[in-house]
Structure 1
C-alpha cells in the first residue's frame, strides 16, 4: 500500500458517518470515571499516610538509637588507680 492508497483509505474512513453510540453509554462512563477518581484519590491518601508513618517511625528510631553517636570502646579496660 503506497502513500496515495493510504490517503484514499483514510479519506474514505473520514467521509463515512460515525457509528451510533448507545444513549446510556454516557451515564456508565461518568459513573465509572467518578469511581476511578475516588479510588485514585483514596490510594493517593493511603500512600501519603504510609509515607508519613514511615517518616515518623524513622525519626523515633533515630532519636532513641542515635546511630550517629560513636559507641563506647569495649576493647581496653578502664584505667583506675594511677
Structure 2
C-alpha cells in the first residue's frame, strides 16, 4: 500500500459518521471517572501525609540525636594530671 492509497483510506475513515454511543455508557463513564478522581485525590493526600510525617520524624530525630555534633573519641583516654 503506497502513500496515496493510505491517504485515501484515511479520508474514507474520517468521512464516515462516528458510531453511536450507547446511552447507558455515559453514566458508567461518569461513575468510573468520579471514582478514579476520588482515588487519585486520596492517594495524593496520603502521599502528602506520609511526606509530612517523614519530615516531622526526621526533625524530631535530628533534635534528639544531634547528628551534626562529632561524637567523643573513645580510642584514647583523656590526659589528666599534667
* Match of residue 32 from structure 1: 32
Residues 28-54 of structure 1: CA deviation (Å, up to 9, x unaligned): 111110110010000000000000111
- Matched residues, number: 82
Q: CA deviation at 1:17?
A: 2.0
TM-score (norm 2): 0.90
Kindly state the Cα deviation for residue 75 of structure 1 after the two structures are TM-superposed. 2.4
Q: Higher mean Cα deviation, 52-61 or 14-23?
A: 14-23
| 1:64 alignment counterpart | 64
Return 5+ residue gaps in structure 2 as ranges: none
List structure 1 segments (4+ residues) > 6 angstroms apart after TM superposition: none
SS in 2 for 1:24: helix
Over aligned residues, Cα RMSD in angstroms? Answer: 1.2
Question: How far apart are the structure 2 equivalents of 1:15 and 1:31?
Answer: 32
